[in-house]
Each structure stands twice: as structure tokens, then as C-alpha cells.
């Protein structure tokens, strides 16, 4: 154990109320396991914090002893940044409280909360904010990278709805930051990732949503994929209302009950539709999509917002091996569509897919320098999910994702969503922030000059 004695560990255990786990302790193996099964790291210590005071103690302990420091919220990040080798992990997963003020339409969210935790409390009051598409995702990591979901076209990015944060910085002190208190730090936290400290509380603006919304899937055979995608592009660029959001998924059809057995396992293109508004308006907005081709199956209708937020959980569960590549697009050019449909017919695993998340709308009307999240020109975020089960499939699945990335690069903006960067893409961190990077580096120098928070898509302190 690096530079640590039994006395050091005893001192840490007495300083915190939460658990301190060492490799021989019960619970250690579970605590070091993250969503992406390609990540297999063994920290020296895991501190399962019970509150902000524990975080302050753990930050000081790691800093004073020169330990590598990682921070775990939901443990869902593709790069596995929640876990480090040989260092200390601040594990926030026990802190899952969500408090909703329905009169002020504000939520106070602890850093270990998942989207499911958030939605459970907010939807009891008929409220929500833009937050991802997978209920097991951690609120903290998603938010700090920018965050988007089904509500983004109507209400903006997650960070556009962040009102304030409590954060413990590298010197071990607690700060409250918002538009009036340490506004430069607050600017950096809205998209700058975990580079500036450990956020121990989030405050979000809420919007009236649901509890019933209109959503579902339109499934077309792969032979119609190019025609479907070109018509989708035309609809997005013309009359598509902001209440409607439509994501595209190209994959092999899972055995969904509304699909005929003959379609199971076959290549398909799926339009995942979401409408937050009057059911009649939803039906009118969705109807043009049905004319894009002849579907092999459809399941669209009224359902609880919480159910739709969990609809893709089974396809994105923990335990699989994952490698992603991502691009931003302002427009889906014909060449990009051709590459998408070509590579979708050569999926390296039945678990792999290509998805296009639609942003735009309100998110596009925010200035690029208003928050650390810069990519206000992106209408689409493309993510290549290479996903598989066995280590002997690693090379083929990773190569497929990289080849697809290169085939679509000339049609993309050059920007990338930082939460979709894998551990081997440090060269693209500048692309994640564009002109905002220099300002972030200056803020990093102010709050973390020694780069204690470095096990992330790292922003180095300005020299």
C-alpha cells in the first residue's frame, strides 16, 4: 500500500463516518466494480462517504499523502474514471437523497443519486429536468459533462438547468457556487467534468413534465434505413416541433413483444420517439414518421415518464464490455448516413449499436461561452456503442468502432461530448471544450493547481 501504514488507515477510519474499505475487506470487490467491464482497477482505499465532512477528510488524506484520487458517483462513465489503481476512491454512491420543492420547482440532489432516484421524487410532483436516457446513470457525472436527454430540445442541456452546487475543492474546503457566488467556478462546473473538486450537492431547476407522456418505438427493416434517415433529416430541418424528440438506433432487433418473431435478431433502424405535450399534438407530430417506410413493428402511446426513462435499461445494463466513439453533427449528410447504414450491417456483436441522439432546440440557442459545455451548434450526438461479452472479442469490436469513427469524421463538426470519450482519447479533450479550454485551464489553476483531480478527461492547470 503506497506510503500508508496501519496508523494512517486507523486515523482515516476515525476521521470519517462512512466505511473505509481495503482490498481484503468485505464489500471492496463490489465497490471497485463499475458499469464498463473492460475497466478492472484496484484502488488501495475506497472511502464510502456519508456526507460532505467525509469528503473533506478524504480529499485532505489523499492530497497530503500524494495518493492518486478518483471520485465515484454512479460509476457509469465509459472511461471508468470512477476507479483508479493504487490510490484512493471517494465513493459517493451511498448519498442518494433527492429533495424536491414543488412550489419553487427546484430539486436538491446528492451526488450518488441515479436518474431513477431523481425521477422517482420529481415525478411524484409532476416535475423533471433534462437528464439522460438510462435510469441507472449517475446524476453527478452526467451533469458535470453537460448532460442531455429527451427534454433537451424543449428545456436545454442539463447544465442549462443547474442552479448551483456545493463542492469540496483540492484544499479540502467547502464552497457554494452559483451565478452570484464564485461564478467562474460555477461556469466551469457546467460541462467541465470532475476537474475542479467533488460536488456534494446539486440544485436543479424543474419543469412540469408528465407524469404521462407519449413515447415509443417505430421499427423499420435495415433495407429501408437510408430512406428512413434521409426523411428523418428532412423532418428535423423543416417542421418538427420542439415538444418532439426522435433518436435513431441501428442495431439487431431485440425480442420485443410487439415485433414478430421473424424480426428478432435481424438488422433494423429504430426511431425512438418522445413527446411532452398534449396527446393529440403528439399524435400529429409523430404521424409523419410512420410514412418514412413500412415498419416491422410499432409500439407508441401514452406511458409514465418514469417508464420511458427506464425503457433502454435492459440494453445498457452493467457487466458488458464497452468501447465508444462519438461525433457531433450539425447535419446528417448523405455520406454520414451511408456510413451509418453500412457499418450497421457489420455489427461486431449482437449487443452493439449505433445511436444518434437529437439535441438542438433550446440547447442550440445558448451562447457557446455561456457554460463550459461549448457545442451549441450540435443538432445530433452520434455514439458508436461497441458492446460485447468476452475478452477475446475486444480487438474486433474496438476496431469496428474506430473504423466507423474514421469513416464519418469528415462529416462531423470536430467537437465531441466529453462524457462519451473513452480512456484512450485524451488527445480529443481540447475538442470537447473548443475555445472554452483556455478559460477552464485558468480556473483549474485557481482551484486545483496541483491537479489532484486528474483521473478524468483531464484539464491541466494553466502554466
pLDDT digits (tens, 9 = 90+) for 32-76: 999 999 999 999 999 999 999 999 999 999 999 999 999 999 999
CATH number assigned to the domain with residue range 6-91, chosen from the 4 options 2.60.120.10, 3.20.20.220, 3.30.43.10, 3.30.1490.20:
3.30.43.10
CATH 3.40.50.300 fits 212-420, yes or no: no
CATH 3.40.50.2300 fits 98-209+436-447, yes or no: no
SS3 readout for the chain: CCCCCHHHHHHHHHHCCCEEECCCCCCHHHHCCCCCCCCCCCCCEEEECCCHHHHHHHHHHHHHCCCCEEEECCCCCCCCCCCCCCCEEEECCCCCCEEEECCCCEEEECCCCEHHHHHHHHHCCCEECCCECCCCCEHHHHHHCCCCECCHHHHCCHHHHEEEEEEECCCCCEEEEECCCCHHHHHHHCCCCCCCCEEEEEEEECEECCCEEEEEEEEEEHHHHHHHHHHHHHHHHCCCCCCEEEEEEEEECCCCCCCCHHHCCCEEEEEEEEECCCHHHHHHHHHHHHCCCCCCEEEEEEEEHHHHHCCCHHHHCCCCEEEEEEEEECCCCHHHHHHHHHHHCCCCCCCCEEEEEECCHHHHHCCCCCCCCCCCCCCEEEEEEEEECCHHHHHHHHHHHHHHHHHHHHHCCCCCCHHHCCCCCHHHHHHHHHHHHHHHHHHHHHHCCCCCCCCCCCCCCCC
pTM confidence score:
0.95
Domain ranges of the chain: 6-91, 98-209+436-447, 212-420
Q: What is the pLDDT along the chain (463 residues), one digit of tens a residue?
A: 567 889 999 999 999 999 999 999 999 999 999 999 999 999 999 999 999 999 999 999 999 999 999 999 999 999 999 999 999 999 999 999 999 999 999 999 999 999 999 999 999 999 999 999 999 999 999 999 999 999 999 999 999 999 999 999 999 999 999 999 999 999 999 999 999 999 999 999 999 999 999 999 999 999 999 999 999 999 999 989 999 999 999 999 999 999 999 999 999 999 999 999 999 999 999 999 999 999 999 999 999 999 999 999 988 889 999 999 999 999 999 999 999 999 999 999 999 999 999 999 999 999 999 999 999 999 999 999 999 999 999 999 999 999 999 999 999 999 999 999 999 999 999 999 999 999 999 999 999 999 999 999 999 999 8
Amino acid at each position: 500500500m503506497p506510503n500508508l501504514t496501519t496508523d494512517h488507515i486507523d486515523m482515516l477510519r476515525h476521521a470519517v463516518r462512512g466505511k473505509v474499505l481495503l482490498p481484503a475487506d468485505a464489500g471492496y470487490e463490489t465497490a471497485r466494480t463499475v458499469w464498463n467491464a473492460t475497466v478492472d482497477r484496484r484502488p488501495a482505499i475506497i472511502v464510502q462517504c456519508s456526507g460532505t465532512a467525509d469528503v473533506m477528510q478524504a480529499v485532505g488524506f489523499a492530497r497530503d499523502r500524494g495518493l492518486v484520487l478518483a471520485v465515484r458517483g454512479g460509476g457509469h462513465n465509459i472511461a471508468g474514471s470512477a476507479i483508479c489503481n493504487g490510490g484512493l476512491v471517494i465513493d459517493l454512491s451511498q448519498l442518494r437523497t433527492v429533495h424536491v420543492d414543488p412550489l419553487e420547482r427546484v430539486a436538491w440532489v446528492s451526488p450518488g443519486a441515479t436518474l431513477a432516484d431523481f425521477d422517482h421524487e420529481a415525478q411524484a410532483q409532476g416535475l423533471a429536468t433534462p437528464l439522460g436516457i438510462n435510469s441507472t446513470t449517475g446524476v453527478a457525472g452526467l451533469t458535470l459533462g453537460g448532460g442531455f436527454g429527451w427534454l433537451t430540445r424543449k428545456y436545454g442541456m442539463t447544465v442549462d438547468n443547474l442552479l448551483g452546487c456545493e463542492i469540496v475543492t483540492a484544499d479540502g474546503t467547502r464552497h457554494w457556487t452559483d451565478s452570484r457566488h464564485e461564478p467562474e467556478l460555477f461556469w466551469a462546473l457546467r460541462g467541465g467534468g470532475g476537474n475542479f473538486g467533488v460536488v456534494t450537492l446539486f440544485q436543479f431547476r424543474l419543469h412540469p413534465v408528465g407524469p404521462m407522456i407519449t413515447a415509443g418505438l417505430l421499427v423499420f427493416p435495415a433495407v429501408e434505413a437510408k430512406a428512413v434517415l434521409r426523411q428523418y433529416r428532412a423532418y428535423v430541418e423543416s417542421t418538427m416541433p420542439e415538444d418532439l424528440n426522435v433518436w435513431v438506433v441501428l442495431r439487431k432487433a431485440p425480442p420485443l413483444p410487439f415485433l414478430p418473431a421473424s424480426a428478432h435478431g435481424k438488422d433494423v433502424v429504430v426511431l425512438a420517439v418522445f413527446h411532452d405535450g398534449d396527446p393529440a399534438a403528439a399524435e400529429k407530430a409523430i404521424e409523419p414518421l410512420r410514412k418514412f417506410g413500412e415498419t416491422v413493428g410499432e409500439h407508441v402511446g401514452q406511458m409514465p415518464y418514469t417508464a420511458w426513462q427506464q425503457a433502454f435499461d435492459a440494453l445498457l445494463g452493467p457487466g458488458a464490455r464497452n468501447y465508444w466513439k462519438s461525433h457531433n453533427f450539425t447535419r446528417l449528410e448523405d455520406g454520414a448516413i451511408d456510413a451509418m447504414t453500412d457499418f450497421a450491417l457489420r455489427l461486431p456483436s449482437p449487443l452493439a449499436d449505433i445511436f444518434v441522439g437529437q439535441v438542438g432546440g433550446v440547447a442550440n440557442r445558448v451562447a457557446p461561452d455561456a457554460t463550459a459545455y461549448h457545442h451549441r451548434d450540435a443538432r445530433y450526438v452520434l455514439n458508436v456503442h461497441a458492446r460485447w461479452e468476452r475478452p477475446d472479442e475486444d480487438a474486433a469490436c474496438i476496431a469496428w468502432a474506430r473504423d466507423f469513427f474514421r469513416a464519418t469524421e469528415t462529416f462531423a463538426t470536430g467537437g465531441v461530448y466529453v462524457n462519451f470519450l473513452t480512456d484512450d482519447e485524451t488527445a480529443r479533450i481540447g475538442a470537447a471544450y473548443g475555445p472554452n479550454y483556455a478559460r477552464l485551464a485558468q480556473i483549474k489553476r485557481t482551484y486545483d493547481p496541483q491537479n489532484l483531480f486528474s483521473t478524468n478527461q483531464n484539464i491541466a492547470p494553466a502554466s
